[in-house]
C-alpha cells in the first residue's frame, strides 16, 4: 500500500476508507510516525450541483439545493431561500422565521451529536459513539414529525415554510429538549473531566488565530481559536435579529477546543429552541413567491452547523438562475487542513480530519486541492485582472467598472 520516496514513506488513504463515510483521498508523507506532508485530493462527490441549478427553474433548484448535503440540508435551503427572498423583496412572516429557527437549531443538535459520535469513533471510544447516535434519534424523530422525513425535511420554501408547528408538536419539542439537556450535560462533564479523552484531543491539529485568518477557516474551527465567527451574531438574520445567540468561543486552538465549542453549542441550541417555542408568534407561515426573479445578484449568509454557508444567485430576470454559487463551510475549512496535519502523528490523522467535521458532498465544487500553503490561493485583484483580460479578448472593456464592495 505504501511507496518509498526519498527514504520517506507515502501512505495513500482513501477514497474508500473505514473511518469516514465519504470519499476523500489523502497522501500522507511520513517520516517515521510523524506526518511530514499531507496532500489532499477531493472532488469525488462532485455532482455538478451549481450547473444543475442553473438548468432548472427556481422551484426545482430548491430541491437540488436541499440535496447538496444530507446533514445540513436545512441550512442550505435557508440560505438559498434567504437569497431569493432578498432579491424578490419578499417579507417573510415572523412565524416562518421562528419555524426556520427551530428546525435550524434542531439540525445543529443532530449534526453536532453525529460529529461527537464520529469523533469518538475516530479515537476508539466506540461507547460514546453508540451513546450519542442513540440520543440523536430523539432529534431525528422530531424532525421526521415536523417535515415528514428524517434527513431531507423540505421545510423551507420561498417566502416562508411549508409546514406549521402544532402546539402538541411544540410541547413534544420541549419534552425532548429536557431529555436531551440531561444527556448533553453528561457529555459536557465528560469532555471536561475524562482524562483519556483530553489526553487524546489536547494539543493536536493546532490552528492558531493567525492561521485561522490566513486560511479563512469558519465555524467551530475558528471559534475554537478564539475568533467569534458566527453569522448568527456577526450578521443576524431571520429569527436571530430578535433573539440573540450567546457567543461561544474557546482558546485551546486544537481538536479539544473544537470539541468543547460543539458540546457547548448543543446546550446553547437547546436554550434557543426553548426560547423560540415560547416566543413564537401566531400568523401566516408563508407569502406567495413569484416564479421569476428580477435582474440582479445577491449573496446570502447563514450559519450552518459547520460554519458560515454562503450562497450566491445571479438572475437575468428569467425563471431560472443565471449563476448559482454554493460556498459550504467545509470548503473554507479545507484550506488549513494540510497545515493542521503536518507535524503530528499518523495515529492523530483521522481525528484531526474529523475535527473540522468535513462534509465532502457540501464541498466538492470542482475543486482540486493539491499541496498545502497559501501559494495556491489567488487574490481578488489578480482574479479581476484575469477577467478583464478575458473580456478584452472578446472585445468588451470592463476595466472602467468599479468593484462592488461587500
> In DSSP terms, which residues pair with 3 in a beta bridge?
10
Question: Cell digits for 299?
Answer: 449573496
Choose the binding region for other proteins from 38-46, 84-92, 177-185, 305-313 (rule: CB under 8 A).
38-46
Could you tell me the smallest distance in angstroms from the CB atom of residue 113 to other proteins? 11
Alpha carbons 78 and 65: distance in angstroms, whole number = 10
Q: Which is nearer to other proteins, 367 or 401 (CB)?
A: 367
Provide CB contacts within 8 A for 222, sequence distance 6+.
Answer: 212, 229, 307
Nearest to 154 by CA among 61, 261, 256, 63: 63
Query: Residue 325 interacts with other proteins (CB under 8 A)?
Result: no
Pairing status of strand 296-304 against strand 25-31 = unpaired
Alpha carbons 277 and 158: distance in angstroms, whole number = 22
Choose the binding region for other proteins from 37-45, 92-100, 246-254, 327-335 (rule: CB under 8 A).
37-45
Pairing status of strand 3-5 against strand 8-13 = antiparallel
Per CB under 8 A, the list member of 32, 34, 48, 234 interacting with other proteins is 48
Query: Residue 151 interacts with other proteins (CB under 8 A)?
Result: yes
Phi/psi for 302 (5° steps) reads: -140, 145
> In DSSP terms, which residues pair with 309 in a beta bridge?
302
Q: Give the SS3 label for residue 261.
A: helix
Query: Residue 44 interacts with other proteins (CB under 8 A)?
Result: yes
Query: Residue 246 interacts with other proteins (CB under 8 A)?
Result: no
Alpha carbons 155 and 99: distance in angstroms, whole number = 9
Query: Residue 177 interacts with other proteins (CB under 8 A)?
Result: no
Per CB under 8 A, the list member of 39, 52, 170, 233 interacting with other proteins is 52
Query: Residue 89 interacts with other proteins (CB under 8 A)?
Result: no
Could you tell me the smallest distance in angstroms from the CB atom of residue 278 to other proteins? 29
Q: Which is nearer to other proteins, 50 or 230 (CB)?
A: 50
Choose the binding region for other proteins from 27-35, 149-157, 196-204, 239-247 (rule: CB under 8 A).
149-157
Choose the binding region for other proteins from 126-134, 245-253, 283-291, 343-351 (rule: CB under 8 A).
126-134
Q: Cβ distance 81 to 61 under 8 Å? A: no
Per CB under 8 A, the list member of 36, 57, 133, 162 interacting with other proteins is 133
Alpha carbons 121 and 154: distance in angstroms, whole number = 30
Q: Cβ distance 250 to 223 under 8 Å? A: yes
Strand ranges across the sheet with 8-13: 3-5, 8-13, 25-31, 34-41
Query: Residue 63 interacts with other proteins (CB under 8 A)?
Result: yes
Could you tell me the smallest distance in angstroms from the CB atom of residue 18 to other proteins? 3
Query: Residue 152 interacts with other proteins (CB under 8 A)?
Result: yes
Choose the binding region for other proteins from 133-141, 156-164, 288-296, 303-311 (rule: CB under 8 A).
133-141
Give ∠ CA 13-325-399 in degrees, rounded to 5.
115
Query: Residue 37 interacts with other proteins (CB under 8 A)?
Result: no
Query: Residue 16 interacts with other proteins (CB under 8 A)?
Result: yes
Alpha carbons 281 and 270: distance in angstroms, whole number = 19
Q: Cβ distance 345 to 32 under 8 Å? A: no
Query: Residue 130 interacts with other proteins (CB under 8 A)?
Result: yes
Query: Residue 137 interacts with other proteins (CB under 8 A)?
Result: yes
Per CB under 8 A, the list member of 10, 11, 12, 15 interacting with other proteins is 15
Site string for other proteins, 339-368 (x = CB under 8 A): --------------------xxx-------
Query: Residue 17 interacts with other proteins (CB under 8 A)?
Result: yes
Site for other proteins in 382-401 (CB under 8 A): none
Per CB under 8 A, the list member of 2, 5, 149, 241 interacting with other proteins is 149
CA 250 to each of CA 226, 246, 265, 279: distance values in angstroms, whole numbers, following the listed order: 5, 13, 11, 30
Provide CB contacts within 8 A for 395, sequence distance 6+.
Answer: none
- In the complex, the residues that contact other proteins under the rule CB under 8 A are 15-18, 21-23, 43-49, 51-52, 63-64, 67-71, 73, 114, 117, 129-130, 133-134, 137, 140, 149-152, 359-361
Amino acid at each position: 500500500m505504501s511507496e518509498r520516496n526519498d527514504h520517506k514513506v507515502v501512505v495513500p488513504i482513501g477514497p474508500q476508507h473505514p473511518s469516514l463515510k465519504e470519499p476523500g483521498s489523502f497522501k500522507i508523507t511520513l517520516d517515521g510516525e510523524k506526518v511530514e506532508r499531507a496532500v489532499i485530493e477531493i472532488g469525488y462527490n462532485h455532482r455538478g450541483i451549481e450547473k444543475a441549478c442553473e438548468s432548472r427553474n427556481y422551484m426545482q433548484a430548491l430541491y437540488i439545493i436541499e440535496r447538496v448535503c444530507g446533514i445540513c440540508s436545512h441550512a442550505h435551503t435557508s440560505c438559498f431561500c434567504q437569497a431569493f427572498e432578498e432579491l424578490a423583496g419578499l417579507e417573510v412572516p415572523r412565524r416562518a422565521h421562528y419555524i426556520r429557527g427551530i428546525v435550524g437549531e434542531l439540525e445543529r443538535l443532530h449534526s453536532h451529536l453525529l460529529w461527537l459520535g464520529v469523533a469518538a469513533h475516530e479515537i476508539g471510544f466506540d461507547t460514546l459513539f453508540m451513546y450519542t447516535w442513540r440520543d440523536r434519534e430523539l432529534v431525528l424523530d422530531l424532525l421526521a414529525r415536523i417535515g415528514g422525513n428524517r434527513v431531507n425535511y423540505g421545510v423551507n420554501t420561498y417566502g416562508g415554510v411549508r409546514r406549521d408547528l402544532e402546539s402538541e408538536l411544540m410541547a413534544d419539542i420541549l419534552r425532548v429538549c429536557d431529555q436531551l439537556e440531561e444527556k448533553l450535560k453528561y457529555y459536557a462533564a465528560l469532555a471536561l473531566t475524562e482524562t483519556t479523552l483530553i489526553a487524546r484531543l489536547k494539543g493536536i491539529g493546532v490552528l492558531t488565530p493567525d492561521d485561522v485568518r490566513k486560511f479563512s477557516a469558519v465555524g467551530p474551527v475558528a471559534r475554537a481559536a478564539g475568533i467569534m465567527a458566527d453569522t448568527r451574531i456577526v450578521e443576524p438574520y431571520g429569527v436571530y435579529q430578535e433573539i440573540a445567540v450567546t457567543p461561544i468561543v474557546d482558546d485551546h486552538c486544537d481538536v479539544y477546543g473544537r470539541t468543547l465549542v460543539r458540546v457547548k453549542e448543543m446546550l446553547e441550541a437547546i436554550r434557543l429552541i426553548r426560547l423560540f417555542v415560547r416566543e413564537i408568534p401566531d400568523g401566516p407561515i408563508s407569502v406567495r413567491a413569484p416564479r421569476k426573479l428580477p435582474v440582479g445578484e445577491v449573496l446570502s449568509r447563514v450559519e450552518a452547523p459547520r460554519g458560515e454557508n454562503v450562497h450566491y444567485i445571479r438572475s437575468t430576470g428569467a425563471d431560472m438562475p443565471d449563476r448559482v454559487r454554493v460556498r459550504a463551510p467545509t470548503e473554507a475549512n479545507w484550506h488549513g487542513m494540510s497545515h493542521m496535519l503536518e507535524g503530528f502523528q499518523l495515529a492523530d490523522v483521522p481525528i484531526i480530519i474529523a475535527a473540522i467535521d468535513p462534509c465532502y458532498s457540501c464541498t466538492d465544487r470542482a475543486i482540486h486541492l493539491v499541496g498545502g500553503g497559501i501559494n495556491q490561493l489567488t487574490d481578488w485583484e489578480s482574479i479581476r485582472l484575469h477577467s478583464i483580460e478575458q473580456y478584452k479578448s472578446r472585445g468588451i472593456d470592463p476595466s472602467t467598472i468599479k468593484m462592488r464592495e461587500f
